[in-house]
Each structure stands twice: as structure tokens, then as C-alpha cells.
Structure 1
Amino acid sequence: MDRKTCQAEPGSAIARDYSHGYLCMVYRVPRGWAVMFIRIISGKYGGRKIDAPDNGRTHPMGERVRNAMFNSIADEIVGARVLDAFAGTGSIGLEALSRGAKACTFVERDKIAQKVLAKNVVSLGADEQSQIIRSSVNAWIETTKPDYYDIIFADPPYHDLQLSTVSKLFAILKPNGLMVLSHTGRGEVPNLSELGIVVVDNRSYGNAHLTSFRRVG
């Protein structure tokens, strides 16, 4: 595959996109948006930084919460097939790959976030283990036949938990698989015990809450 040199204008960033036949794509960060950096905490990419536009349209999980979440599932992450739903710029899925996950599917509908996500994946060298779905989570589930996953991370917008969509994710969770839902704690979480989905853990970190579900059997 040919490689081309990209020259970005001021206010632009560079990412690589295989769909264009070469490893290069330029996109412009809209005027007035700041770009912040998120640190990968541990694993093979530990200490590396990835981009996240500070535009209010995505809410990257805080480092303390992300670290606590991954430490709590350390025994399950190695070799797992992972889904990062509502991926934003990919901090959760990339942390999973850094800590030994086999592969990660990222689902994100925001176009700017998609481009930053693509840049982050390639900048870490994680492209061979990553699949980016440019779609809403609901549309992806409704219109395709997704794979099954060992671990699903669901980090929907805090102002819209999308519980009906989140509930559909359980259908693609492997037996004994784990799903971690990030939420504010102000709303009800799905109760799917009749489907063999049970809550196995609840943790709170200030305004951030993590509820873990497991598919039994």
C-alpha cells in the first residue's frame, strides 16, 4: 500500500484512513475547538497520549475511573474480543488493547470524533486489532449482524443514557461475557434478569457510576 505525505493546514490534524487506498487523511478541527490529550494508563501503550477534541460533544471517561474499571477486570481483559460502544475518540477501547485485549470494535456516530478516533488508532499502531464502525450504536445493531463479544463497554452520553439501545447490546454478549455501563446514577439501569443478565458489580466515583452485568450460562 502506498504512503503519501500529508501536509495539514493550521487548525487541522492528520489521521490515516485505509478506505482512501493510502494511509493518509487530513481533517480540519473546527475553529474555536480546543484539543485535549488523554493518557493511556497501562500496558503496551502505557504513557502514550491520544487526542480528544474538547468540544462538549464527547465526554471521555476520567483517568481515575478508567484505571479503576480496568483494574477490576484485569483477569478478563487479556485475549478478549471487546466492543467500545459510544466510543468517542477511543480511550476505553485503546486502553483495553493496551492491556492485552485481542481486538476491539469501536462504534461512534459523531463525524469529528470518528476522525480523531481513526488518528488515535493509527498513532498507537493499533489499526490491525481495531475496527471502526461509523454509525450510531442503534443503527449498527438494527442493520447488521454484529459479532459476539467477551466484554462490552457502554459509555453513552450522560444526558441521554439510551437504555433501549444499551439493552440491545446484551444480545451480542457472549455467554459469561461482561458488560460495563458508565452512567450518572440518576436513572434506572436495565433489569434483564429474566434473560440471564445479572448485575455483578456497582461502583461509584463521584458523579460517575459503573454497573457491570454478566450473561449467565
Structure 2
Amino acid sequence: MRIISGDYKGRTIKAVPGMKTRPTSDKVKESLFNRIGPYFDGGAVLDLYAGTGNLGIEALSRGCDTCVFIDQSSQAVRVVKHNIKNLGIMKNTEVYRNDAKRALYIMGNRKRSFDLIFLDPPYAKEQLSNIVEIIEEQNLLTEEGQIVCEHHSETVLPEDIQSFRKSQAVTYGDTGITIYTY
């Protein structure tokens, strides 16, 4: 895996060994960032279900200021820490091992808010609508923010989830991307 654009363009990042994670392909990542950016003038990112940290690191490379990476797998957390250390971006990041829902409540209690939230759960465990509801309940997305949901292409997410509206939905082979905004 490599970083496609920005400050760390061309640098490689380590993958999580085994078949438990499904990193976003370069083709999908490039198309995704062309839709949501492609570059940023600062901002805070939450990479929930971080896996390798691929999406959050790409957002940092393209100009976001900070990123919180969360994954419940200790192996994934070790890989994210390795990748951010290797890139020298540890001061701009926080990495936590936690369950996604529990982590969202903790972020809400800490009054955190994010300009960009990536949700890329294991396809077999998709609960995206419920996770998006918690994001709103905990007031985790800034007014101009975006929630990017990566899911199986056969999964169709609702047009509206509470105050969020689907702004874009595209498929790339087996991968679907749905973006929500206020």
C-alpha cells in the first residue's frame, strides 16, 4: 500500500498481516479523495475501524491537521502505530484500541468534533446506520463535515439518517462508498 498524494506521496505503509482487514484499494482511495477533497486546509479526522490507518494517513498527507485512529484489533493498532511512527506524524495523531461504539461515546464525552469521519467496518459486521446515529447523538461531526462510509457494493444505505443526508453514493466493483453531510 502506498500514499497516493500530498506530503507523503509515494511512501508505503505496512498492512495488517492475515485476512482480517481489507485495506481500501489505491483506485478506490484516489477516487474517494477526489470526491471529498482532494486536498484540505486543516481539519480533524476520525478513522474508525482504522485497520492500517490507510484513509486517515492519506487525509493527513493531503492537509488535514490531526487524526484519531480507532480499531478494536490489537494487531491493527500496532500496525497503525508503526505506520505513523515511520512517517514521523506521531504528534498529529492519537491511536486507541477500542470498540467503535464505545469509542464514539468516549469522543462525545470529551466534546471532540471532526471535519471528516471514515467508517470502514468489516463488511460482515456493518452497522453503519447505527454508527452514524451515534455520531449525530454525540455531536461528533462539524457543521461542514463529511462522513465517509465504505461498505459492500450490495449494501444500500438510507437517504437520510437523522439530520444527515446522503450526498454521494458510488460503487467500485465490490466496494460501495456513501458520503453523508448535514
Scaled by the length of structure 1, what TM-score is found?
A: 0.76
Identify the match of residue 73 of structure 2 among 110, 113, 121: 110
Contact 1:167 1:190 in 2 (8 A): no
Choose 179-188 or 69-78, whichever is displaced more. 69-78
> Aligned-pair distance for 1:211?
0.5
Kindly report which structure 2 residues correspond to 1:121-160, keeping only aligned pairs within 5 A, or say none.
121-144=84-107, 145-146=109-110, 147-160=112-125
Q: If each structure's helix is expressed as a fraction of its own residues, which one has the higher value?
A: 2
Q: Is 1:73 aligned with 2:48? A: no
Structure number with greater CO (CA < 8 Å, separation at least 6) is 2
Percent of aligned positions that are identical: 32
Q: In terms of Rg, which structure is larger?
A: 1
Deviations 1:167-211 (A, max 9, x none): 312331111211110011323424545x32111111111111110
Alignment gaps of 5+ in structure 1: 1-37
Alpha-carbon contact 1:161-1:183 (below 8 Å) kept: yes
Residue among 206, 209, 214 paired with 2:173 = 206
Gaps of 5+ in 2: none
- The CA distance in 2 between the partners of 1:214 and 1:70, in whole Å, is 15
Q: Within 2, Cα distance between the matches of 1:172 and 1:62?
A: 27
Relative to the length of structure 2, the TM-score reads 0.90
Aligned length in residues: 177
Q: Distance in 2 between matches of 1:179 and 1:77?
A: 15
Contact 1:86 1:107 in 2 (8 A): yes
Deviation of 1:54 (Å): 3.4
Partners of 1:103 and 1:123 lie apart in 2 by 16
Is the Cα–Cα contact under 8 Å of residues 153 and 172 in structure 2 kept in the other structure?
no
Rounded Cα–Cα distance in structure 2 between residues aligned with 1:191 and 1:172: 20
Distance 2:94 2:64 in 1: 13
Q: Does 1:48 align with 2:11?
A: yes
Is residue 79–residue 101 contact of structure 1 (8 Å, CA) maintained in 2? Answer: yes
**Structure 1 position 76, deviation (Å):** 6.2
Displacement over 4 Å in runs of 4+ = none
1:148–1:172 Cα contact (<8 Å) kept: yes
Aligned-residue Cα RMSD (Å) equals: 1.6
Counterpart of 1:77 in 2: which secondary structure? coil
Among 132, 138, 142, the residue aligned to 1:174: 142
